[in-house]
Amino acid sequence: MSPAAASGMRRAVFISDVHLGSRHCHAAELAGFLSRLRCERLYLVGDIVDLWWLAQRRASWGVAHNRVVEALHALRRAGTELVYIPGNHDRPARRFCGLALPAMRVRRRCVHVAADGRRLLVVHGDDYDAVTHFGGLQERFGDWLYYRILTGNQLVNAIRRHLGLRYWSLSEFLKRRSAAAERYIARFVQAGLDDVRRRGLDGIVCGHIHRAGLVQRDGLVYANDGDWVESLTALVEEMDGTLRLLSHRGEVLAELPPRLQLAGEETVPRAAAVPTGAASIRRWIRSPTCSTAGSSPLPSRRARTAARRCSRAWR
């Protein structure tokens, strides 16, 4: 067993839809999860602080919310690289996309290259609202009903904690029995997979819809890291490229094994390189990179093939 595996070190972790500042955020559970976490890179995939909720003057910020912020600072001090991808509820932070702030990098979207070479688009997911949302009275009523259900979810789990029972998501239970909700989620999943297929990538990591999932469909990875208002889940990549969906207690809810490596094929190096010369171009082809707002997330397969041919010319 490698030292990293023995110490519980993860190569990358993805969390989203925390909604700090809202009354439905399970900040205590997230703070506990982060305090036990060790990883090289942590992606904050949108809606971390619910600026929309705070703007409505309904702020709910307690000790547990402060513990989440302190846990993020502790991870940063321990050497974890933080990448922040704002969502629709923390949209104002998108004006900082492309900046390398003292504590983190802010990106509109980025591409994470796993240890097995899979290239995964990391994006919050609200970009697909134009495809998945149809508007109208029914959708507005659904939004109103959803917040009422989240309030009921808190009450139910307060009673369950008093009785010594484990967390159970009432909202998730009801959504899975709603045909309209299931159709919306299916449209969202398909929109995400269509996007990465057009970009020539191997999969997507997102949030936004508050439905955790980890599946492989038509050769593409769909990974939704869930949320911290009902699912209480996170996505992790192990050192060998294995993807796992974890509960807030660390239980494995779903898993995708790493892609098989060809004989003699190297795993992805930790840091990206600048393509200047044959060796640098070859390293760049395999390296993890993050794109800034409006830029192409990663060269297409055709471009990567051209780069390899170019590298031969430098030999």
CATH of residue 101: 3.60.21.10
Residue 171 placed within a domain:
yes
Q: Which domain holds residue 92?
A: 8-313
pLDDT tens track, the chain, 315 positions:
444 444 489 999 999 999 998 888 999 999 999 999 999 999 999 999 988 777 776 778 889 999 999 999 999 999 999 999 999 887 778 777 777 666 789 999 999 999 999 999 999 999 898 766 555 555 555 565 666 677 777 777 778 777 787 777 766 777 776 777 788 889 999 999 999 999 999 999 999 999 999 999 999 999 999 999 988 999 999 999 999 999 999 999 999 999 876 544 554 544 333 333 444 434 433 444 444 333 334 444 544 544 444 444 333
With beta carbons less than 8 A apart as the criterion, state whether 120 and 96 touch: no
pTM for the model: 0.74
Residue 29 placed within a domain:
yes
Residue 2 placed within a domain:
no
Residue 3 placed within a domain:
no
Confidence (pLDDT) at 104: 86
Beta carbons within 8 Å of 73's beta carbon, 6+ residues apart? 103
**Domain count across the chain:** 1
